[in-house]
C-alpha cells in the first residue's frame, strides 16, 4: 500500500483541515459515541479482520480492536497525518498490538480481495469524492458474508447547513452537504447499487436547542471544504454577494429562534449491508 498518497486539491484541503483539528477532535465524546454505536450494530466479534475507513483519531478502530482480540486485526486508514498521530498514541497507551494505522486514500486502497470481515466508515462517508465508486471499491475487500457499516446524517440535520442550502439556492448554487445520503431510500440505493444485500438502516432521531450565536457560527463561508464538492460552492460569489448571503443566512436563523433557542436536528443513520 502506498503510504504517501497523492491527493488532489479537494482531498488535500480535507487532510489539512483535520490535521488542524486533530488536537481538539477528542474534546467532545460525540464522535466517540457514534463510532461505538456503529461497531455495536456491526456485530464485531473475536478474531475478525476489520478495516476502518477514515479512522480519524481511531474511535472505531480502537473499539473494534478491543473486541477482535489478539487473534483479530484492525487497520485504520486516513489521509490526515495529524489525526493518525493521535490514533497511534491512543493505541500505544492501550497496548493494542492488533491495530495498524495507515496514511492512505480510502478511495484508492490496495488491499487483498475478500480479506475483511467488517468495514466501517464513521463520520466521514459524505467526504468521499464518489460515494458509489467508494462503496463498490470497498465491496471487493469484504469476505462473502462480510458486513459494511457506514454512518450518515439525514438531510434535515444541522440547521446551519440546511439554512446555508436555502440561501445558496437564491444564488443558483447547489450545496450537497448531507443530501446524497440524507434519506433512507438514498442510503438503501447507494448500497444496493454497489452490490450489497440484506441492507439494514437504523434511524436515531437526535437533536438539541442551540443558541442563535452558535447557529450563526455554522455559516460555511467560501473557504471551508464542502463534502463532495470542490471548490467550495460559495467561492463563486463575489465579496459583496458573500456578505449579502451571510446577512440572509443570519436573518433566516433569527426567524427560527424561540425562547429555547434554535432546534438543531441531528438525525443519524447507521447503514449496514452484507456481501
CATH number at residue 85: 3.40.50.150
Among the listed residues 187, 191, 167, 169, the one whose alpha carbon sits nearest the alpha carbon of residue 178: 187
Q: What secondary structure letter does DSSP report for 219?
A: -
CA–CA separation, 95 and 8 (whole Å): 35
**246 in a structural domain:** no
Instruction: Kindly state whether residue 55 falls inside one of the protein's structural domains.
Output: yes
**Mean pLDDT, residues 190-216:** 98
Confidence of residue 1 (pLDDT cuts 50, 70, 90): low
81 with 20: CB under 8 angstroms? Answer: no
pLDDT at 138: 98
* Cell 464542502 -> residue: 226
Look at residues 92, 18, 22 and name the one whose alpha carbon lies nearest to residue 61: 92
Pair 178, 271: CB distance under 8 Å: no
Q: State the pLDDT confidence band at 265, using cuts at 50, 70 and 90.
A: very high
Give a yes or no: residue 237 inside a domain: no
Specify the number of domains making up the chain.
Answer: 1
**Do the Cβ atoms of 219 and 168 come closer than 8 Å?**
no
On the question of pLDDT at 144 being above 60, the answer is yes
Would you state the pLDDT for residue 222?
83
Give the span between the Cα atoms of 36 and 40, in whole angstroms. Answer: 6
Q: Are 87 and 157 in contact (CB under 8 A)?
A: no
**pLDDT tens-digit map of 162-181:** 999 999 999 999 999 999 99
Q: By C-alpha distance, which of 181, 175, 85, 204 is closest to 124?
A: 181
In a domain, 112, yes or no: yes
> Which residue do the cell numbers 447557529 mark?
215
Tell whether the model's pLDDT for residue 148 goes beyond 90: yes
Say which residue the cell 460555511 belongs to: 220
pLDDT in the model for residue 224? 84
CA atoms of 262 and 207, how far apart (whole Å): 10
Q: Can you read off the three cell numbers belonging to residue 191?
A: 448500497
Q: Name, in order, each residue with C-beta under 8 angstroms of 75's C-beta and a sequence gap of 6 or more.
A: 50, 51, 52, 61, 99, 100, 101, 102
Beta-carbon contacts of 156 under 8 Å, excluding residues fewer than 6 positions away, are 162, 182, 265, 267
Domain span holding position 60: 9-157+175-209+266-274
What is the C-alpha to C-alpha distance for residues 184 and 170, in angstroms, rounded to an integer? 27
153 lies in some domain = yes
Residue 162 placed within a domain: no
pLDDT at position 170 is 96
Mean pLDDT of 14-42: 96
Q: Is residue 250 part of a domain?
A: no
Q: 144 in a domain, yes or no? A: yes
Amino acid at each position: 500500500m502506498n503510504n504517501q498518497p497523492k491527493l488532489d486539491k479537494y482531498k488535500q484541503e480535507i487532510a489539512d483541515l483535520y490535521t488542524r483539528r486533530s488536537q481538539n477532535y477528542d474534546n467532545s465524546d460525540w464522535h466517540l459515541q457514534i463510532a461505538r454505536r456503529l461497531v455495536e450494530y456491526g456485530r464485531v466479534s473475536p478474531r475478525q479482520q476489520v478495516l476502518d475507513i477514515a479512522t480519524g483519531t481511531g474511535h472505531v478502530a480502537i473499539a473494534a480492536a478491543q473486541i477482535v482480540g489478539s487473534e483479530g486485526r484492525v487497520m485504520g486508514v486516513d489521509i490526515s497525518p495529524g489525526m493518525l498521530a493521535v490514533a497511534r498514541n491512543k493505541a500505544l497507551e492501550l497496548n493494542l498490538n492488533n491495530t495498524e494505522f495507515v496514511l492512505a486514500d480510502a478511495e484508492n486502497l490496495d488491499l487483498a480481495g475478500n480479506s475483511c470481515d467488517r468495514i466501517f466508515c464513521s463520520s466521514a462517508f459524505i467526504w468521499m469524492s464518489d460515494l458509489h465508486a467508494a462503496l463498490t471499491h470497498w465491496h471487493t475487500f469484504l469476505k462473502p458474508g462480510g458486513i459494511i457499516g457506514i454512518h450518515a446524517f439525514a438531510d434535515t440535520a444541522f440547521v446551519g447547513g440546511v439554512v446555508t442550502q436555502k440561501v445558496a439556492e437564491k444564488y443558483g448554487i447547489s450545496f450537497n452537504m448531507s443530501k446524497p445520503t440524507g434519506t433512507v431510500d438514498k442510503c438503501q440505493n447507494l448500497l444496493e447499487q454497489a452490490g450489497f444485500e440484506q441492507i439494514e438502516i437504523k434511524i436515531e432521531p437526535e437533536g438539541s436547542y442551540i443558541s442563535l450565536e452558535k447557529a450563526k457560527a455554522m455559516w460555511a463561508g467560501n473557504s471551508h471544504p464542502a463534502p463532495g464538492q470542490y471548490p467550495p460552492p460559495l467561492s463563486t460569489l463575489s465579496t459583496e454577494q458573500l456578505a449579502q448571503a451571510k446577512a440572509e443566512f443570519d436573518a433566516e436563523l433569527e426567524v427560527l429562534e424561540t425562547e429555547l433557542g434554535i432546534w438543531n436536528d441531528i438525525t443519524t443513520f447507521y447503514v449496514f449491508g452484507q456481501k
